[in-house]
Amino acid sequence: MRPYNQGNLATNINPKQKPKQKVLQKKRTVIRPGISGGEKLMYFFAVILFVSVLSSVIARYTMISSYNYQIIQAKKDIKKMSESNGELKVQIDALSKPDRIREVAQQMGLTKNDDTVRVVKDNRTSN
């Protein structure tokens, strides 16, 4: 509908436009509390370095522990071998007695013939 403009004071036919005012806004620098990107990157690399050093130290300790277990096992094996060698030496001494050798030879039917046995004495001195 068209406004009735001949006698109506309620309508403004030619509204006056208000000139727009330019509002000058100052740039505000906002300082946010927190950590900057460079600091975050530095902390990240520091954590990576710390984790890598820590993992290498732990790896070394596990290797050392493994070597210690192997050393302990080797010592146990050496002890068993030395005990076994002692038992074998006792058996060698028991089996190499001249009386036993004569007895076994007689059981097998061998006889002693002193004419064929020659004893050679060595005059060399051992240092």
Residue of 1 and 83 predicted with greater confidence: 83
Model pLDDT, residue 25: 79
By the 8 A CB rule, do 34 and 28 touch?
A: no
What single letter denotes the amino acid at residue 52?
S
pLDDT at 112 over 90: no
- State the residue range of the domain holding 94: 37-107
Q: Does residue 121 belong to any structural domain of this protein?
A: no
Q: Does residue 83 belong to any structural domain of this protein?
A: yes
Q: Does residue 20 belong to any structural domain of this protein?
A: no
Q: Does residue 58 belong to any structural domain of this protein?
A: yes
| SS3 state of residue 37 | helix
The full 3-state SS of 52-94, as one line of letters, equals HHHHHHHHHHHHHHHHHHHHHHHHHHHHHHHHHHHHHHHHHHH
Q: Does residue 122 belong to any structural domain of this protein?
A: no
Taking the C-alpha atoms of residue 80 and residue 78, their distance in angstroms, rounded to an integer, is 5
pTM of the model: 0.48
Question: 62-110, pLDDT tens digit by residue?
Answer: 999 999 999 999 999 999 999 999 999 999 999 999 899 889 988 998 8
Domains contained in the chain, number: 1
